[in-house]
Structure 1
Amino acid sequence: MKYNHTTYAILGILTTGCRTGYAIKQLMDQSLNHFWKISYGQIYPTLKQIVKEGLATVDTLSEEGKPSRKEYYLTTKGKQTLKDWLQKPVEQVPVEKNEILLKLFFSRHQSNTNALSLINNYREKLEENYQTYQNIEQMIANQQQNQADAKYWLFTLDYGKRVTKAAIEWCHATTTQMNKG
């Protein structure tokens, strides 16, 4: 059976030791959201579907004085489903939706000053993202708590850093050209 990417992402997250919806959301916020967006509202319905499909089991834990919590564990079928998906080639190169490119495409309808301001603002956001990636990289390097996953996390982080650096360079080149007239 073919599942959506959110299902595969959550199956993958369950391999990292995250067991609860809250822990899954935290991992997504700290890492996956830099390259794969999953809304918080998708987590619990997906977990419910994963259990229904036999890809994971759920244990409800009760602690005195605290609300019960559900912990999810991949089944053999869930691990195999993830492995099968991982081994399939990427179906298509993702098409990026980029607001700055959309605005720049139609920028003859605004002042050059305003267009330059948009690009500079975009560059500043990219530089903030780049700094965030460097901080995450340092955190992974310092903690190395999950060494089996760490090198793969660093590969995805390196991709983000390279793409961001290229976009920053594009901002500089584009503003230089726009300033020439």
Structure 2
Amino acid sequence: MRKENHTKHAILGLLTTGCHSGYSIKQMMDRSLNHFWKVSYGQIYPTLKQLVDEELATVEETAQEKKPDKKEYFITPKGKKALQQWVQAPIQEIPAEKNEWLLKLFFSQPEDRESLLSHLSTYSQKLHERFQAYEAIEQMIESNYADKQEAQFWLMTLDYGQRTTRAAIEWCECTIEKIDQL
């Protein structure tokens, strides 16, 4: 069974938020979705072309002086319907998380204790930085988008990130204690 490419749906969704160029889509991805959905520039433009080919989006080109033509993409009624159907469809499976640190921990040996503690300290620091970034995003949403109905869903998504990051920080603390006892 072929795995469905949900990047198409992520980009359709971003077209509904006022992001109309590949650049603005990438900027929004980096500022918000990147914490749970990573997409590269190399995926954005082929996906936009696919959306246009499937009539889920249209493209308008604007001439620019001394620059290549600017392409802006807009979701079509067919695209809105496809996005809504995808949003309403049940989840088929919970995705597996890829975590290099957990893979290293799994294959570690008791003699790796100092290295493990160092990795855990770095991992915990990065988690704290991520949590601070989530707090900044929360303040930005509450300050700039409080009047948008969609903001409540953005905050729910953010809450998931905050909670899982808090849990990971707690896990680091417990794991440090266990390794100290080795």
TM-score (ref. length: structure 2): 0.94
Alpha-carbon spacing, 1:36–1:146, altered in 2? closer, same or farther (3 Å): farther
Q: Which residue of 2 aligns with 1:67?
A: 68
Q: How many residues align?
A: 180
Distance 1:176 1:15 in 2: 47
Q: Per-residue CA shift, 1:62-98, capped at 9, x if unaligned?
A: 2445432011111111000000011001111111111
Q: Which residue of 1 aligns with 2:33?
A: 32
TM-score (ref. length: structure 1): 0.94
Distance 2:126 2:4 in 1: 34
1:165-180 to 2 correspondence within 5 Å? Answer: 165-180=166-181
Q: Indicate the larger mover: 19-28 or 60-69.
A: 60-69
Q: Which residue of 1 aligns with 2:161?
A: 160
1:44-59 to 2 correspondence within 5 Å? Answer: 44-59=45-60
User: Which structure 1 residue ranges, 5 or more long, are not aligned?
Assistant: none
Distance 1:81 1:121 in 2: 42
Secondary structure of the residue that 1:69 maps to in structure 2? strand
Q: Indicate the larger mover: 142-151 or 41-50.
A: 142-151
Q: Which residue of 1 aligns with 2:5?
A: 4
Cα RMSD of the aligned pairs, angstroms, is 1.6
Amino acid at match of 2:18: G
Distance 1:10 1:40 in 2: 12
Alpha-carbon spacing, 1:24–1:146, altered in 2? closer, same or farther (3 Å): farther
Secondary structure of the residue that 2:61 maps to in structure 1? strand
Q: Per-residue CA shift, 1:118-169, capped at 9, x if unaligned?
A: 1111000100000000011111111117612211111111000000000000
User: Which structure 2 residue ranges, 5 or more long, are not aligned?
Assistant: none
Q: CA shift at 1:178, angstroms?
A: 1.2
Q: CA shift at 1:177, angstroms?
A: 1.3
> How many percent identity over aligned positions?
56
